[in-house]
């Protein structure tokens, strides 16, 4: 078996298009949703009364402990059951399923980010809370001006790692027939019988996108340590 550089070169264009149109889009928007919801969940677990807080914690555990492909299939079943493809007839089915993937990825990874936020919040010394109380700061302002900035400083590297993990999980979109980069590589490889070349290109694109992000996260972690 010989590696065919021409086949690899021809696969670059379609794979980059799939990367930009689906893989990167789902990762960026999913990460934004996950980061925002994760902070909401973390604050809710601390601020809600005992019973609602316990219910929220149970729901987050269920989402976190069930497989992502199953959640994607469940979301697709819900859209189908609600006749979403007909209701949003002006949107292409593939585009609608991509939006579904963004939402499911965002919700799924928000449960992991919530744990990172919770660890950051709990790392703040009790004296910070007591000082805010002594200054008669409203609870909302205490969170906004005192707690969240310090928690973010401790959790940003962890949030970046979860975003990278989300990026690497985007091939799961194939279970709802969204043509992300890996499934596109499989399609191209099947048409030309050049699987090695197309998957090598897909792997290099993944590496080229994730490695600089990982390096940036390490630098950010060192910077925030001071």
Provide the pLDDT for residue 204. 92
Q: Where does the pLDDT of residue 225 fall: very low under 50, low under 70, confident under 90, or very high at 90 and above?
A: low
The HSE-up count of residue 17 (CA atoms within 13 Å, CB side) is 8
Provide the pLDDT for residue 15. 92
> Is residue 226 predicted with pLDDT exceeding 60?
no
> Is residue 116 predicted with pLDDT exceeding 80?
yes
Provide the pLDDT for residue 22. 92
Q: How far is CA 78 from CA 28, 67, 74, 94, 100, in A?
A: 24, 17, 6, 16, 10
Provide the pLDDT for residue 19. 92
> Is residue 194 predicted with pLDDT exceeding 90?
no
Distance of alpha carbon 41 from alpha carbon 61, whole angstroms: 12
Provide the pLDDT for residue 179. 86
Q: Where does the pLDDT of residue 174 fall: very low under 50, low under 70, confident under 90, or very high at 90 and above?
A: very high
Provide the pLDDT for residue 16. 92
Provide the pLDDT for residue 1. 58
> Is residue 176 predicted with pLDDT exceeding 80?
yes
Higher pLDDT, 87 or 224: 87
Q: What percent of the chain has pLDDT over 70?
A: 97
Higher pLDDT, 124 or 100: 100
Query: Per the structure block, which two tokens stand in for 159?
Result: 């949030």
| Mean pLDDT of all residues in 177-193 | 87
Q: What is the CATH number of the domain that holds 99?
A: 1.10.3720.10
| Mean pLDDT of all residues in 175-194 | 87
Query: Per the structure block, which two tokens stand in for 184?
Result: 């596109």
The total number of structural domains in the chain stands at 1
Residue range(s) defining the domain that contains residue 113: 5-224
Residue 98 sits at the vertex; the CA angle it makes with 94 and 104, to the nearest 5 degrees, is 140
Q: How far is CA 139 from CA 24, 43, 118, 124, 191, in A?
A: 37, 11, 17, 16, 60
Q: How far is CA 165 from CA 108, 141, 160, 193, 202, in A?
A: 12, 33, 9, 30, 16
> Is residue 88 predicted with pLDDT exceeding 80?
no
| Mean pLDDT of all residues in 72-79 | 93
């Amino acid at each position: 078996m010989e590696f065919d550089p021409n086949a690899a070169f021809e696969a670059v264009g379609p794979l980059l298009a799939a990367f930009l149109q689906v893989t990167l889009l789902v990762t960026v928007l999913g990460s934004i949703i996950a980061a925002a919801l994760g902070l909401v969940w973390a604050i809710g677990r601390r601020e809600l009364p005992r019973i609602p807080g316990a219910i929220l914690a149970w729901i987050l555990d269920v989402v976190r402990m069930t497989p992502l492909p199953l959640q994607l299939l469940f979301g697709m079943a819900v859209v189908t059951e609600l006749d979403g493809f007909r209701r949003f007839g002006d949107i292409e089915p593939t585009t609608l399923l991509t939006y579904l993937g963004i939402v499911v990825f965002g919700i799924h990874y928000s449960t992991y980010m919530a744990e990172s936020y919770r660890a950051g919040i709990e790392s703040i010394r009790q004296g910070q809370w007591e000082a805010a109380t002594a200054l008669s700061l409203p609870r909302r302002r205490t969170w906004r001006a005192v707690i969240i900035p310090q928690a973010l400083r401790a959790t940003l590297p962890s949030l970046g790692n979860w975003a990278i993990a989300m990026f690497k999980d985007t091939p799961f979109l194939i279970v709802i027939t969204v043509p992300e980069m890996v499934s596109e590589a499989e399609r191209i490889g099947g048409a030309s019988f050049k699987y090695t070349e197309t998957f090598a290109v897909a792997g290099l694109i993944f590496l080229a996108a994730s490695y600089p992000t990982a390096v940036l996260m390490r630098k950010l972690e060192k910077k925030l340590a001071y």
